[in-house]
Amino acid sequence: MRALVVEDSSTIRKILCHYLKKMDIEVVEAADGQEGLERLKGMSPPDLVLVDWNMPVMSGIDFIRAVREMHIYDPLPLIMVTTNSESEYLGQAVDAGANQYIQKPCTLDALREKIEQLGLRDKKIPESAGKL
Amino acid sequence: MSEMSDIVIEFVHEGNDKANQLEHHLIDLEKDPRSQELLAEAFRALHTIKGATSFLGFSKLGALAHTGESLLARLRNGALLMNQEIASALLSLVDAIRAILSEIAATGNEGSADYAVLTSTLTQLQKSA
Q: Does A132 touch chain B (CB under 8 A)?
A: yes
- The alpha carbon dihedral of B66, B70, B72, B76 has a sign of positive
Convert the pLDDT of each residue in A92-127 to its tens digit: 999 999 999 999 999 999 999 999 998 875 444 445
Instruction: Compute the average pLDDT of residues B47-75.
Output: 96
Mutation pick from B18, B47, B48 vs chain A, by most beta carbons of A within 10 Å, is B48
ipTM of the complex: 0.91
Tell me which residue range forms the domain holding A90: 2-117
Residue A125 placed within a domain: no
CATH (domain of A112) = 3.40.50.2300
* Count of domains for chain B: 1
Q: What distance in Å separates the CA atoms of residue A32 and residue A9, rounded to the nearest whole number? A: 9
Contacts of A132 in chain B (CB under 8 A): 4, 7, 55-56
- B-proximal residues of A, 32-71, CB under 8 Å: 54, 56
Convert the pLDDT of each residue in A30-79 to its tens digit: 999 999 999 999 999 999 999 999 899 999 999 999 999 999 999 999 99
Contacts of A83 in chain B (CB under 8 A): 51, 54
- Name which of A8, A14, A105 is nearest B7 (Cβ-Cβ): A14
Q: Provide the H-helix boundaries in B77-127.
A: 84-107, 116-126
> Smallest Cα–Cα separation from A6: which of A47, A44, A46, A63?
A63
H helix count then E strand count, chain A: 5, 5
Beta-carbon separation of A10 and B4 below 8 A: no
* Count of domains for chain A: 1
Residue A7 placed within a domain: yes
Question: At A3, is the pLDDT very low, low, confident or very high (cuts 50, 70, 90)?
Answer: very high
Q: Does A110 touch chain B (CB under 8 A)?
A: no
Tell me which residue range forms the domain holding B63: 3-126
Residue A64 placed within a domain: yes
Q: What distance in Å separates the CA atoms of residue A54 and residue A56, rounded to the nearest whole number? A: 7
DSSP state letter for A53: S
Instruction: Give the minimum alpha-carbon distance from A71 to chain B in angstroms, rounded to a whole number.
Output: 32
CATH (domain of B16) = 1.20.120.160
Dihedral, A92, A96, A97, A100 alpha carbons, nearest 10 = -20
Chains A & B: contacts with CB separation below 8 Å: 43
Q: Say what the pLDDT of residue A88 is.
A: 77
Residues A81, A38: contact at Cβ < 8 Å? no
pTM summary value: 0.90
- Name which of B3, B6, B14 is nearest A9 (Cβ-Cβ): B14
